[in-house]
Structure 1
Amino acid sequence: MLAEIHVPTINLEKAEIVVDVLIKNPNPVPIPLIDINYLIESDGRKLISGLIPDAGTIPAHGEETVKIPIRLVYDDIKNTYADIKPGSIIPYRIKVDLIIDVPIFGRLTLPLEKTGEMPIPYKPDIDVENIKFERFSFEETVAVLHLRLENKNDFDLGLNDLDYEVWLSDVSIGGAELEKSTKLDKNGISYIDIPITFKPKDFGSAVWDMIRGKGTGYSMKGNINVDTPFGAMKLPISKEGGTTRLKKSKEDGGDDDDEE
């Protein structure tokens, strides 16, 4: 028997795992696959177990790839084992027992084990540190969002895409595209600049507070698409009730006085 493990879906809520088991039957008669028992454990602790009945038949002088779908719900794991923290990487062992009915011999159990590592993903923290004017007019302003992203995972994230919307003073200024991919180091802080265009006239009197350099309330919500050592993930990002400042392009973007 040969086995491979695939993780087609992984996000903050769950991991969808598929164990592919290739079974060869050299006998001249088909062999019924009666039951499949599976268990996933980490450091000797059960994460999930289950039974798949009547799993099919292995044809005579043939072979069959049996797919075993397993869903790991992270909340169930964290509620059971408090020491398993979001952002961590845990070892796992998958045990599979294939129960077959072989002529003459009767029921036989074919055991199979695979080991590996699995992440418990954690969403990054995001802040708009400041918004720097590139070109200002009341009809249309071109600016750059200076974003601070904190990756709280024990693994790197390769940021490929941002899908988000930003509100300044409760007015949406829309979103923008990431110009180039960037690496978010594990347990580290990264900064990225995102160009954006909006219309200050839509803000009413609040625009004068922004022009005078006063703190401006903002919210941000969306998703980031990242590559990880465990496959691609789509992670949510959100920030409610934040405060940022608008700056002129000639100002230095790193002054502490302009960050809150």
Structure 2
Amino acid sequence: MFLVLVMLLSSWLKVNLLAVTLFLLIMKLRRSTLGMPSSEVRVIALYTVSNQMMGDVKEGMASSDKPEIVERETKEKKHEEGDKDEEKGGFIEKIKDFIHDIGEKIEETVGFGKPTADVTGIHLPCINLERADVVVDVLVKNPNPIPIPLIDINYLIDSDGRKLVSGLIPDAGTIHAHGSETVKIPLSLIFDDIKNTYDDIKPGSIIPYRLKVDLLVDVPVFGRLTLPLEKTGEIPIPYKPDIDVEKIHFQRFSFEETVALLHLKLENKNDFDLALNALDYEIWLADVSVGCAELSQSTKINKNGISYFEIPITFRPKEFGSALWDMIRGKGTGYSMKGNIDVDTPFGAMKLPISKEGGTTSLKKDGDDDDDEVC
């Protein structure tokens, strides 16, 4: 029985030596692509063969464990057969332990290890009244001598346990051997969807969020691994400011050209500060455009606060027609204003719309002490 076992082992080694040779040749051809030294290629080849040997030994043990029905003539014959089985089992166990030791040495030599990941940044490249575009930076480090594929990325953003957005990014790329990559995860929050789903989330508020990311990678030796990540923070639900024309101060009046200052009130209805950098606007009196411009204006508006500033306008009253006489007689005329403001916030830069419709104003006589009033 021992001789038969040796012959089987010898035959197995011949076949697998050929497999080793072919494997080394293939790995040598791929070495330039992988950028791996030849020593590491040989070690990986040995590791692969050792795994195959382990599988074959296990298979052989499984087949040898099947009971055989034989007739025993004497008790002495039974004892002899038992001794041979013990000898056979001990020999296979030694081979198994030897291959296992080889596998451990290969793992130590090659240096296979689990990759690591960390959220290094969360950016808001665009945020307005409709949506917030979010980019999550995840740094993935690969300590292994071969590239590893990033199979899937699962992400979820919730607020107080309520889902805001979730998704899956398949085939997210490859992490180079002994390298690191910053993987960018783009996603968008649609504010109308959030407000329609959760009534208590109001425009202008700041809500807490929790970001959960699961990275699925495929690593030799370890197989498929899931790297869970989590990050918390806050995100705003912006609301447009209110703007009103408090009064109009006419600096020079004539039918050909009139110069005036608009005194504006800007109310911040958000739970965060606004640092006003610029505004563009167009204003209409009696449905006639009296001016549009882009101005650089530096003003801080505290959260839920009010700020006042002035902008100049120049117009020709004769273009108003009968509406001018209504203004002179004190009957008033309607005005409207539309535009945008560029602001900095704790969450990044925003461009917010401003608008006012339905206001009225009247023109007072020359020499009056009060400024022209706006209602």
Name the TM tier (shorter chain).
Answer: over 0.9
Per the alignment, residue 62 of structure 1 pairs with 179
CA distance in structure 2 between the aligned counterparts of 1:250 and 1:177, rounded to whole angstroms: 31
Matching residue within 207, 224, 227 for 1:110: 227
User: One-letter code of the match for 1:160?
Assistant: N
Instruction: Provide the aligned C-alpha RMSD in A.
Output: 1.7
Identity of aligned residues (%): 79
Structure 2 length as normaliser, TM-score? 0.66
**Residue 251 of structure 1: aligned partner:** 369
1:26 paired to 2:149 = no
Matched with 2:308 is 191
Cα displacement (A) at 1:10: 0.4
Tell me the CA shift for residue 208 of structure 1.
2.3
Judge conservation of contact 1:225–1:235 (CA < 8 Å) in 2. yes
**Residue 17 of structure 1: which of 134, 148, 154 is its match?**
134
Is the CA contact (8 Å cut-off) linking 2:204 and 2:270 kept in structure 1? Answer: yes
- Structure with more contact order per residue of length (Cα contacts < 8 Å, sep ≥ 6): 1
Equivalent pair of 1:130/1:246 in contact (CA under 8 Å): no
CA distance in 1, matches of 2:274, 2:358: 26
In the alignment, does 2:334 pair up with 1:214? Answer: no
User: Structure 1 residues 179, 64: CA separation in 2 closer, same or farther (over 3 Å shift)?
Assistant: closer
Could you say which residue in structure 1 is the equivalent of 2:245?
A: 128
| Alignment check: 8 A CA contact 2:175 2:181 kept | yes
- Larger strand percent: 1
- Alignment match of 1:83 (pick from 200, 222, 239): 200
Q: Name the count of aligned residue pairs.
A: 257
Structure-1 residue corresponding to 2:257: 140
Cα drift, residue 250 of structure 1: 6.4
Q: Distance in 1 between matches of 2:354 and 2:347?
A: 20
Q: Tell me which residue corresponds to 2:118.
A: 2
More helix as a share of residues:
2
Corresponding letter in the other structure for 2:245: V
| 1:131-210 correspondence runs (5 A) | 131-178=248-295, 180-210=297-327
Amino acid at match of 2:140: I
User: Which residue identity lines up with residue 65 of structure 1 in the other structure?
Assistant: T
Q: Which runs of 5+ in 1 are unaligned?
A: none
Given that residues 359 and 374 in structure 2 are in contact (C-alpha distance below 8 angstroms), is that contact kept between their aligned partners in structure 1? no
| Deviation (angstroms), 1:64 | 0.9
CA separation of 1:107 and 1:184: change in aligned 2, threshold 3 A = same
**Matching residue within 359, 365, 371 for 1:242:** 359
- Alpha-carbon distance in structure 1 between the residues aligned to 2:153 and 2:269: 37
2:301 partner letter: L
- SS of 2:195's equivalent? helix
The 3 A distance-change label for structure 1 pair 250 and 232 is farther
Residue 174 of structure 1 deviates from its aligned partner by 1.9
The DSSP-based 3-state class of the residue aligned with 2:192 is: helix
Tell whether the 8 Å contact from 1:133 to 1:246 is kept in structure 2 after alignment: no
State the one-letter code of the partner of 2:118. Answer: L
Letter in 2 for 1:251: D
**Shift in CA distance, 179/17, structure 1 to aligned 2, threshold 3 Å:** closer
Q: TM-score, normalised by structure 1?
A: 0.94
Query: Residues 212 and 184 of structure 1: is their aligned pair in 2 closer, same or farther, counting only changes over 3 Å?
Result: farther
Q: For the residues of structure 1 that align with 2:339 and 2:294, how far apart are their CA atoms?
A: 12
Residue 24 of structure 2 corresponds to which residue in structure 1?
A: none
